[in-house]
Structure 1
């Protein structure tokens, strides 16, 4: 199997290190960071797959002013293509591991978050994925979410395409 020149040259590890360093700097500053709102970073760990974290590259623990915890689980990729192509192993792995993270007994619905930290991604796909995530969070039930994609629903064509890519990977 061929190996990415970025990975072989250490570039992939450098980007992952950059992401971890960003969250570590917010830890040292006892500051807020992207991914979880209104909570400060209290712990950062990396490469946690052997400790039950499917999205293992960077794990960031947060707390609010009352000490209530939240966790952000990230897979880090220098670049990512959003598509369900059989050859798109990075996207497929992120979707699979996001699903496993969501289904983990320790995952706190409406508190914890998961996803990918990506350096390069298509702007249109990024926007469609962000919109899809917003629609999911704003939907009260699964039926409410599904109605957004039915005939006459409010989901854009791009969001529908990204949703279909995700569904095809999970099926």
Structure 2
């Protein structure tokens, strides 16, 4: 059984990065003036790995069954949690709830990459790194934190 708490949009407008946890459900206002939702999957050294759901709403409200029935809109991303949730430098992103029993086990073979030439590395969602070739790195998403503009650009054609 999933153990969700939904606090809502108005509970708190910012969350310090040290309090962001795997299983946190978030909401953000997108470029089309609708609300998108997602969940924090894990923490890595440069931000938080997250999934963005395919559920969109005219209000910042989501029900537990809507979370459970949602699919992933895009591949996992690394969020610049400091800018989005803590300092609120760009966009309006808020933690609105938490799935207490969330375990990111279904994401074990997802990797991000960084580096050039002989210095390429791949990093999993648990921040474990291994060396890879530059060719292998080309097929992976960049190990780089994304902000509001980046996420909105990635989802604009999928909504």
Q: TM-score if structure 2 supplies the norm length?
A: 0.26
Greater share of helix: 1
Q: TM-score if structure 1 supplies the norm length?
A: 0.25
Q: Which has the higher contact order (CA 8 A, sep 6+)?
A: 2
Indicate the structure (1 or 2) with the bigger Cα radius of gyration.
1
